Each structure stands twice: as structure tokens, then as C-alpha cells.
Amino acid sequence: MKTVLTINGQQVSLDIDTRVTLLDALRDHLGLYGSKKGCDHGQCGACTVIADGRRINSCLTLAAMHDGETIITVEGLAHGEALSALQQAFLGHDGMQCGYCTPGQLCSATAMLEEARAGRASQVTDDLTTPAPLSRAEITERMSGNLCRCGCYSGIVAAIEEVAAE
């Protein structure tokens, strides 16, 4: 099936089997290796990308389902050679150790910050009518779909807090 996607600002056309996951299309057909295949069951978040502004597990969705959509991977978060504020904060707060989960963490956090700015509630949001600044509990809940086997959660949360405060 011919599938057209806009990946990190560039339109690409793929002629792929309808059973190819978005993750496999990114890695095997486009050479974008940032998104990782961790569990291949949607449980770890290492494959998280942003599809039309929503964070999704790319291992659980078919590439053909996203025909015409805009996909942002970790490779698309930086602005040329300049890291995004969130990428810079991850470095500053040691929000990574082995780095395997980091691309998914960064994509998830980027989209999560936009969700929070748009006033979308989470399971722990106290007041649904007046969104409050992101608390540690909010960030932890909103990022719960992304696991880090190294346990770098304190650095990840600190990095997100820094960028959320800006």
C-alpha cells in the first residue's frame, strides 16, 4: 500500500505491506533509529512518537493507519543543531543513564507538555476547570506509560518541571 507521511517536516512516500507497524516503517524503511523497540507490546513507551500532536506507541499502530499524518520522532525534536529545551533539560538533570528509553521519554514529555498547556486533565488533576501548574504528581501520572529500567525518574521529572516552568 502506498502511504504518505510527513516525518519530522519531510513528506515521505512508502510502498509498504499493510501489516507494517509505524515503528518498523520508521526504523526499517526510513532509517530513523531513534524510536526503540523495547517490548513490542505497548507496555514500555520506548517507541513513543508524536502523531498529529498525540503521543502514541508506534509499535502498536500500523503505518498505513497514519496515511497523511504528521509524525515527529526524537530526531525531529531538535531545531537543526540546537537541542530542544526539553532535550537540554534532560542533559542538565541527568534524565538518562543507558539512554534506551530516552527517545520515547522525550517524545512523550514533549507532547505531554502540550497536553497540559491545552488544559487537558489527567487522573490526578484536582480542578478540571482551572488547570494548575504541573505538579510532580501530575508529571508522574502523565508520564506513567514510559518506563525507565535504570530508574532515572527523578532526573526526568526535574527536566520536565524545568521546561514546564518556562
| Per-residue pLDDT tens listing for the chain (166 residues) | 999 999 999 999 999 999 999 999 999 999 999 999 999 999 999 999 999 999 999 999 999 999 999 999 999 999 999 999 999 999 999 999 999 999 999 999 999 999 988 888 888 887 777 766 788 999 999 999 999 999 999 999 999 999 999 8
Chain-centroid distance of CA 112 in Å reads 8
CATH number for 2-76 (one of 3.10.20.30, 3.40.50.960, 3.30.70.2860, 3.30.1390.20): it is 3.10.20.30
**CATH dotted code for 85-165:** 1.10.150.120
pTM reported for the whole predicted model: 0.93
Chain-centroid distance of CA 67 in Å reads 19
Name the maximum alpha-carbon separation found in the chain: 47
DSSP for 82-116, please give it: BPPHHHHHHHHTT--SS-SSHHHHHHHHHHHHHHH
Terminal alpha carbon distance of the chain: 43
The domain segmentation of the chain, as residue ranges, is 2-76, 85-165
